[in-house]
Amino acid sequence: MSKVIVISTSLRAKSNSDILTEQLIAGAKDAGHEVEHISLKGKKIGFCIGCLACQKTQQCVLKDDAIEIAEKVKNADTLVFATPIYYYEMSGQMKTLLDRLNPLYPSDYRFRKVYMLSVAYEDEEYVPEKAVSGLQGWVDCFEKAEFAGSLFCGGISDPGEADGKDTEKDEAYQFGRALE
């Protein structure tokens, strides 16, 4: 059994990525994982200022919600980032959080597997490529971790539309069950 942290990065009400994340979490729990869900809705996360003090102290000089999230990420076995695709890329708030997780780089982080769930209006296969590449770049900086897989659910746009997408909901559930 792994300790899994699932981070939802959509800020939209009735978010389709949140609907599918709920299914992923159900699958992960049914597979026996301990799951904690963190939503970025309502969180205050400032931009990294590039001071690099965290590389010596393993603490960020900015005091906001990223501090607590980073501590939870550090102590998880498995990470899942759920994001809507905006302009063929991860959400801006996801990228901001990834930058703010910089204090983890020199730390004794526990996570080994990193996954992504992405959702977009467009449904072509190439749509999530840049978002996956961006997360892969972050993972590449953590030599003990690996990018272990992604699930893309395309063709979903209106708020709450994913509720009626049984195939995608099942795919998200099965993706959650298969987490390591």
* Structural domains in the chain (count): 1
Can you give the residue range of the structural domain that contains 71?
23-119+130-147
How many Cβ atoms sit within 10 Å of the Cβ of residue 43?
16
**Could you tell me if residue 28 is inside a domain?**
yes
> How sure is the predictor about 106, in pLDDT bands with cuts at 50, 70 and 90?
very high
Task: Please say whether the dihedral angle defined by the alpha carbons of residues 29, 114, 54 and 143, taken in this order, is positive or negative.
Answer: positive
Give residue-wise pLDDT tens across range 3-36.
Answer: 999 999 999 988 999 999 999 999 999 999 999 9
**Could you tell me if residue 60 is inside a domain?**
yes
Surface-to-core class of residue 121, CB atoms within 10 Å of its CB (0-12 exposed, 13-18 middle, 19+ buried): middle
**Could you tell me if residue 95 is inside a domain?**
yes
Contact at 8 Å (CB) between 31 and 77? Answer: no
Q: What is the CA radius of gyration of the chain?
A: 16
- Examine the pLDDT at 130 and tell me if it is beyond 90: yes
Written as one letter, the residue type at 100 is R
**Could you tell me if residue 70 is inside a domain?**
yes
- Examine the pLDDT at 103 and tell me if it is beyond 90: yes
Give residue-wise pLDDT tens across range 33-58.
Answer: 999 999 999 999 999 999 999 999 99
Q: State if pTM tops 0.85.
A: yes
- Examine the pLDDT at 108 and tell me if it is beyond 90: yes
Q: How far apart are CA 84 and CA 144, in angstroms?
A: 27
> How sure is the predictor about 1, in pLDDT bands with cuts at 50, 70 and 90?
confident
**Could you tell me if residue 176 is inside a domain?**
no
Given this model, what pLDDT does residue 89 score? 97
- CATH code of the domain covering residue 57: 3.40.50.360
